[in-house]
Structure 1
Amino acid sequence: MDGEALHEVAVRTAMALPAVAETQPFGEGAFVYKVVGKMFVMTSELRGVSIVNLKCAPPHGAALVREHAEITPGWHMNKQHWITLSPGDGIDATLVEDLVGNAYDLVVAGLPRAKRPIDPSRGTGGGAAGRTGSAP
């Protein structure tokens, strides 16, 4: 997957989820996607290469880093809780969609129950299957 497609899939997937907002708190070129004010995805460039930072559970992130040359610990993020995707043959749309969905679910699960736009434990809106919300 090339960098343009990487960004396009990540953004499309994030924006289709309930209660997601796009912001630019770090300036031009870095887009942050938040659910109820909590960041779960960021798209930007590193030395001219498109990248996507994603929130990730530590054991899952460590396994992904071991399995994929295009996935590294989160650039400019807490490396235990974030991963960075770079373009390459080992990244496809399904993987990006799943990782964005997992990042969203992880953040939503940490929100106070009253603020959750979905209930990930019931499969209503979260995960790769069963998402609610509409595409942009």
Structure 2
Amino acid sequence: MNLESIRDYCLSLPGVTEELPFGPDTLVFKVLGKVFLLTPIESHQIQFNAKCDPEKAEELRTIYPDVRPGFHMNKKHWNTVLVTGNISSDLIFSWIKHSYDLVVKGLPKKDQLELQ
């Protein structure tokens, strides 16, 4: 898995845009203006921050050494995932989709319907 495959997956989801609001080093993916994934562009280690249900976030950190509390984020709601090859691409994509779904769930109903 590489940064381009993460980018392609994020952009395949309805209503997603990519931005650089924190400068040229951090790529941010938003759904209807709300952040669901951040990733450094130039890093020796592919990694990303994704939103996560708090109970699931704790569980994933316990099971997977490459899942850590969200770097520079609310550690209750965000995980940092290191992409080292120890976690399958399918599982990583499911966590990205979980983050997307959590953000969509928090949008107004009319926006949720727009995405369907």
Distance 1:88 1:48 in 2: 11
Root-mean-square deviation (CA), in Å?
A: 1.7
Shift of 1:96: 1.2
Shift of 1:10: 2.1
The amino acid across from 1:69 in the alignment is: P
Structure 1 unpaired stretches of 5+: 120-136
Distance 1:20 1:45 in 2: 18
Structure 2 unpaired stretches of 5+: none
TM-score normalised according to structure 2 size: 0.90
Relative contact order (alpha carbons < 8 A, sep ≥ 6): 1 or 2 greater?
1
Distance 1:55 1:7 in 2: 18
Partner residue of 1:56 out of 52, 56, 62: 52
Distance 1:95 1:42 in 2: 18
Aligned to 1:118: 115
Shift of 1:21: 0.4
Shift of 1:7: 2.1
Percent of pairs with identical residues: 34
Figure out how many residues of one structure are paired with residues of the other and give that number.
Answer: 115
Shift of 1:6: 4.1
Is the Cα–Cα contact under 8 Å of residues 6 and 93 in structure 1 kept in the other structure? Answer: no
Structure 1 segments of 4 or more deviating over 6 A? none
TM-score normalised according to structure 1 size: 0.78
CA deviations 1:91-112 (Å, max 9, x no partner) are: 2210111011111100000101
Please state which structure has a larger fraction of its residues in helix. 2
